[in-house]
Amino acid sequence: MSTSSRTSGPSVNSRTAGARPGRIAAFAALFVLGTLTGAAGALVQAAWFPGGLLLSLAAAAGLFWAGTALTGSRAGVGASAAGWLVAVLFLTTTRPEGDFVFGAGLGSYVFLLGGMVAAVICATVVGLVQPPRDSVRLGK
């Protein structure tokens, strides 16, 4: 059998088709939503300590999972988590006056570490999403 008659997987054109403008816009939107979620979570977790912390972590985890579901890949988690991380790191830096948003308390550390753990969990659980039933069969 010649090599031209065999198929060795997806062609180069089908691999590059994933970088459509709509997909890029979805990643940009997830990055912006991650930034907004990180900034809002930084303020809410300190304002209403026990409930605000849980609310901000749930919002971050929900956004990370939505990024996975929307894009169907780990890149959705990466875009939203990158936006969240940019906002959180920006808010942890001190200003010249010595002020910063995060205080040195247990809630701040739980928010920082909990958001990172939620992003890692959502990025690794993406493998559990099953493909459509028809695409699993090799004969089709």
Tokens in use for 49? 């300590």
Percentage with pLDDT > 70 across the chain: 71
Sequence-separated (6 or more) residues with CB below 8 Å from residue 112: 88, 92, 102
Quick one: tokens of 30? 């997830």
52 vs 132, residue with greater confidence: 52
Predicted TM-score (pTM) of this structure: 0.70
Amino acid 5: pLDDT:
47
Helix and strand counts by DSSP (H, E) for the chain: 6, 0
Question: What's the average model confidence in pLDDT over 108-125?
Answer: 86
Q: What per-residue confidence (pLDDT) applies to 126?
A: 56
Q: What is the pLDDT of residues 20-75, one digit of tens each?
A: 888 888 889 999 999 999 888 888 887 777 888 888 889 999 999 888 888 878 88
Banded model confidence at residue 133, pLDDT cuts 50, 70, 90: low
Kindly tell me if the per-residue pLDDT of 2 is higher than 90: no
